[in-house]
Chains A and B, each alone.
Chain A
């Protein structure tokens, strides 16, 4: 095979697959490692749970559900909006893409706002230093909040690059990678919702 043959055959495949890109692989592995971190956090939460007589311990109320459910709705819709945004960009509708990615960022910021409100209310009755339950609760949700914040920065970074025309036209890997991270953070939230907010009610 000569170089020219190899090029004509392979260089421009008919459909660009992000999963062939090294950047995509790296982000999958970053998510895997972060998923493991949250898995260990949640395992610690349950481990401490079974080594206590009751969990949450006596004197601590069950976490309220209103705000977390609103937060869940915000995150899930943000993921859906982001998927639509990407589709629109693939069809060349760059302005619509930017608008919807902006909407995703707003929904994510809404999540963080509600988390702040939840913390403000909770901190009045439950200090993170008071008990292992409170410590694990704030650590897990706090780390997740930090991941949401980082995801938002990543999306803003993507938007900035798109507006300045700094995205490879044929292979917009940065868009795929940042939305992959965003969906991952979304899924982690569902696991946290189930473990920290719902499971104590069963």
Chain B
């Protein structure tokens, strides 16, 4: 009940801050547009717009990027349905039924089904986030450096082993991300590390050029390759529309399916590393198995759109639970939000829910971090309504407008925005070069099954993990045995070992099956 009171207070704070409200609504639109651009994702949008958030207060900045993460996931369904190209990996399953429906003259019905299902899933996920995070945070408040090191180690191993096709490459992505994060100066001894004697590297690597390189520039490179091969987006839609409406009776019929898919998506969202792309296929597969008309799925059924869309948007809220309660980002969007919290001097973790953890803004306003978090939750709820309204009535128009913009002009503009944004984070020309370097690295990672998401999450977490490790050892009388003697820490490490073992066994079985066939 306390959470409901705080949430009402959060709405009050949001509606009392016109800037925050404006950026929440703007984010809903920006996310839809970026998500709907074939190839570009919410992570790419956030990477490019992150520098803008440096100029905003904590609430507008967080609300802006958080809502882009939500609406970007939804926007991917527009590209999936209209262009048969998933705007984001999370929309890959939506394409299976969405595009056939659009092709037979029902694009509006498909888009509206996706909108209703996305909004439904997102609200379920957001409610689970609000109550789940508050409940978990009361238990994690007592954790010290020993437990935190174990949690970070578990997160590294779990994210590395589940996020991609290969356990080895996933863990290598994590190790590489952590090493890049250590470039700079050791915060305890002030010793330069991994700088190769270059004084410019003593301040370390900035998150913005790294994100832009891995998510935006590598994607632009892929799009340039596609254009060279003539792989143009072809909607192939019918000229005439028939029965192109979603009725209220159909929505009512979809409610149980959307509820089940949303719960599946929410559960998957709570696991660090497992994101929307997993959730959408799990929900699609499970609901197809249950459906009496399962044989029709894949030919353009509204159920085949609603299940993956509810699940992939339900991931959004719960993926923030590990971030807000433990400081561990469950997704790339959450990893970027860590940067925003830190820029505004806010320590993430369970203390965020404390009433006594005060934040003072540049303008002299002050509020507790708990008030800020509940205002962020309120922004999430408003953002869902905003992208729902925009998508329901404007989705077809947004899709058609994007289809009219020639990619040969669109991607150069995105490229110029990306390289300029990488400069804008620290006003250093070197950062543009770093973004290009990580663009090449990101492209090579895509081509060889490495995980960009694991790389970025490790980059964000590595410094904190090392700090906890060294602090725990300072407190220990038994050296590294402290991590096994403390039951909570030991438990997390055991979970990490189990997850890797299960994944390795699964991978080996799959390799045997492939070899046998």
Pairing of A with B:
no
Binding site for B on A (CB under 8 A): none
